[in-house]
Amino acid sequence: MPQPVGPGATAPPPAAPAAPEAVLAALERTTDQIIGREDLLDRLREGRPLRIKFGVDLTAPDLHLGHAVNLWMMRVLQDQGHTVIFLLGDTTSRIGDPTGRSTTRPVLTEEQIRENAESFLAQVTRVLRSEPELLRIRRNSEWFDEMGVPGLLRELSLVTHAHLVSRDMFRARLAAGSEIAMHELIYPVLQGFDSVALDSDLTIVGTDQLFNEAMGRELQVKHGQRPQTVITSTVTPGLDGGPKQSKSLGNYVPLCASPGEKFGRLMTLQDELVGTWARVYTDLPLAQCAELGRRADAGGAAARDAKLDLAEAVVRRHDGADAARHSREEFVRVFSAGERPTDMTPLPLEPGTRTALDLVLAARPELSRSAARRLLSGGAVTLEDSRLREAEEEVAVRDGQVVKAGRRRWFRIEMP
């Protein structure tokens, strides 16, 4: 598989070696829980490249700023010479981790797995370095193909039923009377075995993966290995203050968005979240993050300026200083002048009439129907400066017309 070259690959050479305590402190800035903290310190002191397991399932390769938190932590370690192992769960993707999902994920074909892997890799190398010694690509079919049924039975013999059903997500499903298919129940054993196969030193995951990775620690011990350290990263509320960034709620900043779109989305952040987002999503000094938070709490122009600083810092981190400065200038120009932006997103449409709801969904396919209805009823949708409020209202559109669907989300209609 080709290794796409993202910004990460062209990043400056590794920073000067930092003291283990300093590396750990950098990680802890965005750490929620850490299991095996002393172990990690010991390992950092060993001076060898650590193996950082970065397991991905290949069903939803659409990353946002929340995912980037883990990537930036791994980037800190890469800059110290440690190796991220980008592990394609091609065997386990054929099952799907049932985490929080009511239905089993669709089974992927080899072709889909390959495509998703490439898309995923292109996104993560926007943050991660891709020198071969710092980023390795593996597939868990390497060991599961070899393991066979008897081997899997041996692994399963190391784990009890009681332990697996203690997973909060399984407990919730059992309590709700939902069914758990057996391939789902054993998923943590498979994910855990990945750590054994890689002799993983560390993995940095979302809280929902903690159970599975703790299973990895257990299996590692049973195989005579030192158990990996598990770090769960900090989760922030979404742009709108909702529990977290989520594609279906539209309250997120996509990693692949243009600098201008990232900037515009960041400017929709709730004032009271500016300090938190600065701490979690930028590399600004902590004192400065706190200062941004205080300015945002003051509201009005101070809050707007704090948010401009935050947005610039986030975009600078991901897309560089020039892009960040240009995005800021463009935003200020449009915002201050009430002008339309110069670089609107093209919106290809067939001629004809459609409902206002369909127009919004054409522009913002990531929204649910109910979220689109709320945009309309909230007055956030305009067509050539006339506001659309009724979801079922029929509207006629022409080539070149401008649609605004949400705060600072501009589209220009393009007809064939």
Which chain residues interact with a second copy by CB under 8 A? 91, 94-95, 104, 141, 144-145, 147-154, 156-162, 164-165, 174, 179-186, 189-190
Residue 368 beta carbon to a second copy: minimum distance, rounded to whole angstroms: 28
Surface-to-core class of residue 146, CB atoms within 10 Å of its CB (0-12 exposed, 13-18 middle, 19+ buried): exposed
Residue 189 beta carbon to a second copy: minimum distance, rounded to whole angstroms: 7
Strands 345-348 and 352-355, by their bridges, are unpaired
Residue 21 beta carbon to a second copy: minimum distance, rounded to whole angstroms: 40
Q: How many residues does the chain have?
A: 416
Residue 28 beta carbon to a second copy: minimum distance, rounded to whole angstroms: 35
The answer to whether residues 292 and 278 touch, using CB atoms and an 8 Å cutoff, is yes
Residue 226 beta carbon to a second copy: minimum distance, rounded to whole angstroms: 24
**In the complex with a second copy, which residue's Cβ is closer, 160 or 368?**
160
Residue 176 beta carbon to a second copy: minimum distance, rounded to whole angstroms: 12
**In the complex with a second copy, which residue's Cβ is closer, 153 or 396?**
153
Backbone angles phi, psi at 400, to 5 degrees: 90, -10
**In the complex with a second copy, which residue's Cβ is closer, 94 or 295?**
94
Beta partners for 88? 56, 139
**In the complex with a second copy, which residue's Cβ is closer, 25 or 174?**
174
Residue 114 beta carbon to a second copy: minimum distance, rounded to whole angstroms: 16
**In the complex with a second copy, which residue's Cβ is closer, 19 or 153?**
153
Beta partners for 34? 231
**In the complex with a second copy, which residue's Cβ is closer, 144 or 277?**
144
Look at phi and psi of residue 285 and say left if phi exceeds 0, alpha if psi is from -120 to 50, else beta. beta
Which residues, at least 6 apart from 84, have a Cβ–Cβ distance to it below 8 Å? Answer: 52, 54, 74, 77, 78, 128, 134, 135, 136
Closest CA to 266 of 322, 223, 306, 216: 306
**In the complex with a second copy, which residue's Cβ is closer, 95 or 296?**
95
**In the complex with a second copy, which residue's Cβ is closer, 8 or 89?**
89
Closest CA to 409 of 286, 304, 283, 264: 264
Beta partners for 85? 53, 136
Backbone angles phi, psi at 308, to 5 degrees: -60, -40
Measured in whole angstroms, the distance separating CA 236 from the mean position of its chain's CA atoms is: 12
The answer to whether residues 60 and 89 touch, using CB atoms and an 8 Å cutoff, is no
Residue 162 beta carbon to a second copy: minimum distance, rounded to whole angstroms: 6
**In the complex with a second copy, which residue's Cβ is closer, 114 or 183?**
183
Residue 102 beta carbon to a second copy: minimum distance, rounded to whole angstroms: 14
The Cα-based distances of 357 to 385, 386, 392 in angstroms read 17, 15, 6
Question: How far apart are alpha carbons 349 and 148 in whole angstroms?
Answer: 51
**In the complex with a second copy, which residue's Cβ is closer, 144 or 211?**
144
Question: How far apart are alpha carbons 291 and 278 in whole angstroms?
Answer: 10
Question: How far apart are alpha carbons 242 and 37 in whole angstroms?
Answer: 31
The answer to whether residues 108 and 56 touch, using CB atoms and an 8 Å cutoff, is no
**In the complex with a second copy, which residue's Cβ is closer, 186 or 344?**
186
Strands (E) in 283-393, as ranges, are: 345-348, 352-355, 381-383, 386-387
Here the tokens at position 243 are 């529990």
